[in-house]
Structure 1
Amino acid sequence: MTILVTGSRGRVARTLLGLLHAQGHPLRAGSSDPGALDPPGGIPAVRCVLDDPGTFGPALEGVRSVFLYAGRSTGAATAFAEAAAAAGVRHIVLLSSSAVLEPGGADNLLAGHHAAVEAALSRGPVPATFLRPGDFAGNALRWARSIAATDTVRLPYPEAHTLPLHEDDLAEAAAAVLTAPEGHPAPAYTLSGPQSLTFREQADLIGEGRGRPVRVETVDPAEWKAASGIPAPYADALLDHWRAHDGTPLTPAAPLVDHPRTFSLWAAANAASFA
């Protein structure tokens, strides 16, 4: 059973390829730039771009399961599902987002493209499972330059809670569904880290991991937005999201993996990024 893993330059997909390769599954790595890939064990790499249906046929030939990273592409999701069905694909696992579950998710800039791809696959001819992670532990790397240079991170809502998910846990969940879809019959799974943490608490754990405390400074949301470099509509959406969870602990999702990894473990493993 050949498994196509798209978005293979990303951390989750690279980890997933390693897991599936270690389990002995025939694999194919898909990317918009296959020449830039270095997949383990000589896994063949192919060009596969959701916005370019001309790449679907060669990428899907002989494939039975697909890990689909749709990015912000939505228009060709229906065409991809139809091409997958024609190639004999039996199951698609989509990397989506838990943001689709929030009120107005389909119209939310952070979730709208995920909701659109989910809808297209739901109408399509190939059974699909949606993995809906929330915040990744790796999102904290956006603080790395400031912490390494000044021992400080500046945040508009330091008491906002998230459920930081270790990317390796997401890869393990994807591998479980791809290799045994009959054991995971739900159409969608919400994924999160095991503990609700504020940004301030995450900064403290990063400090512990690198052996030097991290100061947290509260800045005005407008000041953060101006300095973020993020396009204004997306910065506003992030600020709205953090404001909604300011001071409010979140409930972890039921894990798809045994012993989900903590943010503390992630912070220790990535200490060098904040040194």
Structure 2
Amino acid sequence: MIVVTGATGNVGRALVTQLAAEGVPVRALTRDPTRADLPAGAEVVRFASAAEPAAMAAQFEGATALFLHVAAGGEHTAELLAAAREGGVRHVVVLSSIILDHDDSAAHPIHVMHTRLEQQVRDSGLDWTFLRPGAFSTNSLQWVPQVRAGDTIRWPFTQSLTAPIHEADIASVAAVALRDPERHAGAVLSLTGPVAVTAEEQLQAVGRALGREFTVVEIPPHEVTPDMFPHVPQEMLPALLESFGAAVGSEPDLTTTVADVTGSPARTFEQWAKDHADDFRAAE
């Protein structure tokens, strides 16, 4: 049995879907099972926090592996890992961040958060595999309000370069590591998409997927409003904008990890845009 935290998130949902399709026993933890809308082959269980020690322990009974999202345990990650180990889990695959590959970013809030997470996992006594993806293609969903409003998109640092990765590719690597723990225990896997693309190129790819053409307007950072980054905590926004600026004209490191681990090439951003075209369309 594989337990997946963050099961209704982008990566978690893709992972649960893949495992269930392959007939792998999977238990999806979510705070509201009634709204999870996960595949029938998955066992959907209410996520229990450290405030409910008995329920927390029960959700890991019979499990041998765990997919751990950074937000799952929060301040109680150590307790969650202890409960997993007591329930039978021996191997944990951690969704971390590629920012940990760069020591010069040690003060960045995301670096601090994931460094702490990885250390807690190392201290847990469990075998582990760390997945360190770069920019998520799903970050582009922050453009949904502007895309639905019209064909002019205002954005800072439109020429910033990233190698965004499809959530299904992260899930595919996680699935391999979870099913074959002996081979991947102790591995640190940095994941990127196959090519570097600018923010403007990503927007135009979304436009092509929708059969539209966007006018992309560069705005200065001081014109950025919080609603443009609805999923970014306000305290992290300055650091995020700084990283966008640093990525202008700077080619990101590309990895072949997705292909190396899964045997299939990483999906392009163009493919991601086609897969998610309906997410950008307004409800009719």
The answer to whether TM tops 0.5 is yes
| Count of residues in correspondence between the two structures | 274
- Alignment TM-score, normalising by the size of structure 1: 0.92
The answer as to whether partners of 1:30 and 1:48 remain within 8 angstroms in 2 is: yes
Displacement after TM superposition at 1:269 (Å): 2.3
Provide the residue aligned with 2:44 in structure 1: 45
Aligned AA (1:177): A
1:35 Cα deviation from its structure 2 partner? 3.0
1:261 to 267, 281, 284: 267
Matched letter for residue 65 of structure 1: A
Alpha-carbon distance, 1:104 to partner: 5.2
Q: Distance in 2 between matches of 1:97 and 1:175?
A: 17
CA contact 1:53–1:76 (8 Å) conserved in 2: no
- Residue 241 of structure 1 corresponds to 243
Deviations 1:10-53 (A, max 9, x none): 12212211211122211211112233223322532222245546
Deviation of 1:122 (Å): 0.8
For residues 140 and 273 of structure 1, what CA distance do their matches in structure 2 show? 11
**CA–CA distance in structure 1, aligned partners of residues 227 and 34 of structure 2:** 35
Measure, in 2, the Cα distance between the counterparts of 1:177 and 1:246.
34
Q: Which amino acid letter does the alignment assign opposite residue 22 of structure 2?
A: Q
The residue number in structure 2 matching 1:6 is 5
Alignment CA distance shift 1:226-1:70 (3 Å): closer
Corresponding letter in the other structure for 1:30: L
The answer to which of 19-28 and 168-177 deviates more is: 19-28
Partner in structure 2 of residue 136 of structure 1: 136
* Alignment TM-score, normalising by the size of structure 2: 0.89
Residue-by-residue CA offset, 1:192-216 (whole Å, 9 max, x unaligned): 1111111011112122222211111
Let me know the Cα RMSD of the aligned residues.
2.0
What is the match of residue 15 of structure 1?
A: 14
Q: Distance in 2 between matches of 1:36 and 1:263?
A: 29
Q: CA deviation at 1:169?
A: 0.5
Q: Which residue of 1 is the match for residue 254 of structure 2?
A: 252
SS of the equivalent of 2:252 reads: coil
Q: Percent identical across equivalent pairs? A: 33
Partner Cα distance (1:220, 1:72) in 2: 35
- Counterpart in the other structure of 2:23: 24
Q: Residue type matched to 1:260 in 2?
A: A
Shift of 1:74: 3.8
Give the letter for the 2:30 counterpart: S
Matches within 5 A, 1:170-209: 170-209=170-209
Pick from 266, 269, 279 the counterpart of residue 273 of structure 1.
279
CA pair 200-252 structure 1, distance change in 2 beyond 3 A: same
Letter in 1 for 2:77: A
Give the secondary structure class of the aligned counterpart of 2:64.
Answer: strand
Name the SS for the 2:129 alignment partner.
Answer: strand
Aligned-partner Cα distance in 2 for 1:60–1:232? 34
For residues 24 and 231 of structure 1, do their structure 2 counterparts lie closer, same or farther at Cα, with a shift above 3 Å needed? closer
Aligned partners of 1:170 and 1:73: how far apart in 2? 20
Change (3 A) 1:92 1:53: farther
Q: Which moved more, 1:161-170 or 1:93-102?
A: 93-102
Per the alignment, residue 119 of structure 1 pairs with 119
Is the 2:127–2:185 contact (alpha carbons within 8 Å) kept by the matching residues of 1?
Answer: no
**1: distance between equivalents of 2:83 and 2:74?**
15
My pick for the range that moved more, 22-31 or 162-171, is 22-31
Q: Give structure 1 stretches of 5+ with no counterpart.
A: none
Identify the residue that residue 83 of structure 2 maps to in structure 1: 83
Q: Which aligned pairs between 1:223-242 and structure 2 lie closer than 5 A?
A: 223-225=223-225, 228=228, 231-242=233-244
Decide whether the 8 Å contact of 2:128 with 2:187 is kept in 1.
Answer: yes
Query: Is residue 163–residue 250 contact of structure 1 (8 Å, CA) maintained in 2?
Result: yes
Distance 1:204 1:149, change over 3 A: same
Q: Distance in 1 between matches of 2:56 and 2:190?
A: 28
| SS of structure 2 residue aligned to 1:4 | strand
